[in-house]
Amino acid sequence: MTVMQVQEIPDVTVRGFRAGDENVFFELLKDSFASLEYLPRVKAEINGPYFDREGSFIAERNGSAIGCVGLRNLPREKWHEIRYLAVKNGEPKVRLAQNLIAKAVHYADSNRAEHLTAFAPAVQPYIDVYKSAGFVPVRRSLRIGWEITEHHTQQSNVQTRELSKDFANEAADVWIEGLRPYWDYWIEEQGGPEKIKSWVKESVGTEPGWAFDSREQEGRGRARLFLEFGGEGFDTDMLAVLSQLAAGPAARDAGRAPR
């Protein structure tokens, strides 16, 4: 990792994250990225168990927040990820972003991090700032959406239904198989395949949203509001049942696949 030189910016101070700063992060991210940053996900992450408050920072000018950066502790021990880098429009983005990243990197190093990654919307100058800090772009994440009020009605030989606890062990195996090789990095970040399988087994039949897609009585895939890249390509039947699960019980009853 490149050692970044912190540049002093007149009248700007960088302080640690404090209780109640969640909304400061949300407003700065909204100002910097608008709809490119999915705020419901950000809110869930910042309020979740992996957000490292001590490794997250806010830049202020005359007491007003003008920038932020956050650190997440990944489920795998001593693995961390820098996120939520944002600088308010009208401020010196490059220098301030460099200072914020330097603070997060220094904190991670002081805690003897073994693996440090970064995640950011593909917006400049943030990508170049990360590059200048020694980060190398390795992948892009694509967020897609669909209209959940439109339900699939076409008949096919594929049966799609919600999963019961009886299928938990099989679902765990298919989940890992469906993620590979595209999501190998995520599997490692989460602590390895066995840890993820354990989570799947606990979740299936307990938490809503798991769906089973079968053809000729052979299991084809599992999803929890998640699209997998399987051998047969994009699955519109699975997409349809996920739409119904997302829309709620009434939609599920109206669009339930025939048995």
Q: CB-based burial of residue 258 (10 Å sphere; 0-12 exposed, 13-18 middle, 19+ buried)?
A: exposed
> Per the structure, how many domains does the chain have?
2
Clarify whether residues 126 and 24 are in a common domain. Answer: yes
The residue from 132, 148, 169 where one domain ends is: 132
Contact 214, 158 (CB under 8 A): yes
Asked whether residue 243 is domain-assigned, the answer is yes
Asked whether residue 27 is domain-assigned, the answer is yes
Clarify whether residues 79 and 30 are in a common domain. Answer: yes
Clarify whether residues 195 and 88 are in a common domain. Answer: no
Clarify whether residues 113 and 197 are in a common domain. Answer: no
| Cβ neighbours for 207, distance < 8 A, ≥ 6 positions apart | 224
Clarify whether residues 128 and 16 are in a common domain. Answer: yes
Query: Can you give the pTM of this predicted structure?
Result: 0.70
**Host domain of residue 209:** 158-255
DSSP string for 7-33: PP-TTEEEEE--TTTHHHHHHHHHHHH
Clarify whether residues 35 and 102 are in a common domain. Answer: yes
Structure confidence at residue 234 (pLDDT): 41
Clarify whether residues 18 and 65 are in a common domain. Answer: yes
Asked whether residue 52 is domain-assigned, the answer is yes
One digit per residue, pLDDT tens: the chain, 259 residues? 555 666 778 889 999 999 999 999 999 999 999 888 888 889 999 999 999 999 999 999 999 999 999 999 998 999 999 999 999 998 889 999 999 999 999 999 999 999 999 999 989 999 999 999 999 988 887 777 666 565 555 555 556 677 788 888 888 888 888 888 877 888 888 888 888 888 888 888 887 777 776 655 444 444 433 333 333 444 555 555 555 555 555 444 433 333 3
CATH number at residue 116: 3.40.630.30
Of 136, 205, 128, 126, residue with least CA distance to 164: 205
The residue from 84, 115, 132 where one domain ends is: 132
Asked whether residue 172 is domain-assigned, the answer is yes
Of 255, 27, 252, 38, residue with least CA distance to 144: 38
Asked whether residue 143 is domain-assigned, the answer is no
Phi and psi of 152, rounded to 5°? -75, 130
Clarify whether residues 42 and 93 are in a common domain. Answer: yes
Clarify whether residues 239 and 185 are in a common domain. Answer: yes
Asked whether residue 102 is domain-assigned, the answer is yes
Asked whether residue 3 is domain-assigned, the answer is no
Asked whether residue 142 is domain-assigned, the answer is no
The residue from 132, 150, 179 where one domain ends is: 132
